[in-house]
Amino acid sequence: MQNLTLSSEALPKHIAVIMDGNGRWAKEKGKPRVFGHKNGVKAVRRTISTATQLGIQAITLFAFSSENWRRPQDEVGVLMELFFSVLTTEVKKLHKNNLRLRVIGDLSRFSKRLQDKIASAESLTENNTGMVVNIAANYGGKWDITNAVRQLAEDISGGILSSSDITEQSIAQYLTMSDLPDVDLLIRTSGECRISNFMLWQLAYAELYFTPTYWPDFNEDSLVDAITWYVNRERRFGCTGEQIKALLDK
Ligand code: IPE
Ligand code: IPE
Ligand code: MG
């Protein structure tokens, strides 16, 4: 049988990931939760690298939800420090690989030091033309929509828009990531099957992929499996993991 070469057109353009299970992964190993978060960073690196090789247009990683402030203060502190140090070490690599980094969410609650670090990482990579890497931090889907509605209301009261201009398209323009295609594939690790207030609007038509794998164990094969599943759902022509991997080797 002829080996069908898969077109990269069939791949998802925008992948979103709820990176879950760091704590349980560490607990199973008898380690503190922070050990799981540190190993989760390695999975982030692997995922970005594989997605880049596949030519994915954008990836959005849920790193910290607007609800995660409810965690014990110690854990929140560790996560903030980890975010700061990862931004410091990884941004140069992202830049070298022509990737564009953006941090999506209500940044006002972060320390000034972290906000400055985020701003400099974003400005260093803003003219890059490769994959867009969005890190969702203090992000919530309800926050995103609320924020959009507030700005829309301000533009109406300022006379820039009238209420009859409110359409799905105009609301979408006020949301974060409005310049990117909507999410095609959402991946959530750790076996939980919920959205946890991640992108609500942008996920309206996404294929939802849930895997029991804990985030720190998520590797190149895990991403290939998720994308293979997606391609088969969307295009229904029975593509194999090998065909996705063939795109990686190009
Ligand atoms: C995901 O792992 C990372 C963050 C939410 C920051 P968790 O910390 O939620 O790990 P579990 O779900 O407790 O195992
Ligand atoms: C969702 O994970 C947020 C992130 C992955 C950052 P959680 O583990 O915090 O989600 P819930 O609260 O269990 O739904
Ligand atoms: Mg969790």
Ligand 2 atom closest to 62 (CA): 6
- pLDDT single digits (tens) 192-239: 999 999 999 999 999 999 999 999 999 999 999 999 999 998 765 677
- pLDDT single digits (tens) 40-93: 999 999 999 999 999 999 999 999 999 999 999 999 999 999 999 999 999 999
Q: Which amino acid is at 33?
A: R
Contact by Cβ (8 Å): 125, 101: yes
Contact by Cβ (8 Å): 133, 57: no
Contact by Cβ (8 Å): 94, 133: yes
Ligand 1 atom closest to 26 (CA): 14
Q: Which amino acid is at 89?
A: T
pLDDT value at 2 more than 50: no
* DSSP reduced 3-state for 116: helix
- pLDDT single digits (tens) 10-19: 999 999 999 9
β-pairing, 14-18 with 185-188? parallel
Q: H or E stretch including 15?
A: strand 14-18
In the chain, the percentage of residues whose pLDDT exceeds 70 is 96
Q: Is 114 in the pocket of ligand 1 (CB under 6 A)?
A: no
pLDDT value at 4 more than 70: no
Q: What architecture is the 2-248 domain classified under in CATH? A: 3-Layer(aba) Sandwich (3.40)
**Cα–Cα distance for residue pair 209/227, rounded to 1 Å:** 9
How many Å lie between the centroid of ligand 3 and the Cα of residue 20? 5
How many Å lie between the centroid of ligand 2 and the Cα of residue 244? 29
Contact by Cβ (8 Å): 51, 230: no
User: What value does the mean pLDDT of the chain take?
Assistant: 95
Q: H or E stretch including 135?
A: strand 132-139
Phi, psi of 133 (to 5 degrees): -110, 110
Distance in Å from the first CA to the final CA of the chain: 22
pLDDT value at 137 more than 70: yes
- pLDDT single digits (tens) 108-126: 999 999 999 999 999 999 9
* The dihedral sign for the CA sequence 223, 228, 231, 234: negative
Domain boundaries, the chain: 2-248
**Cα–Cα distance for residue pair 59/131, rounded to 1 Å:** 8
Q: Is 63 in the pocket of ligand 2 (CB under 6 A)?
A: yes
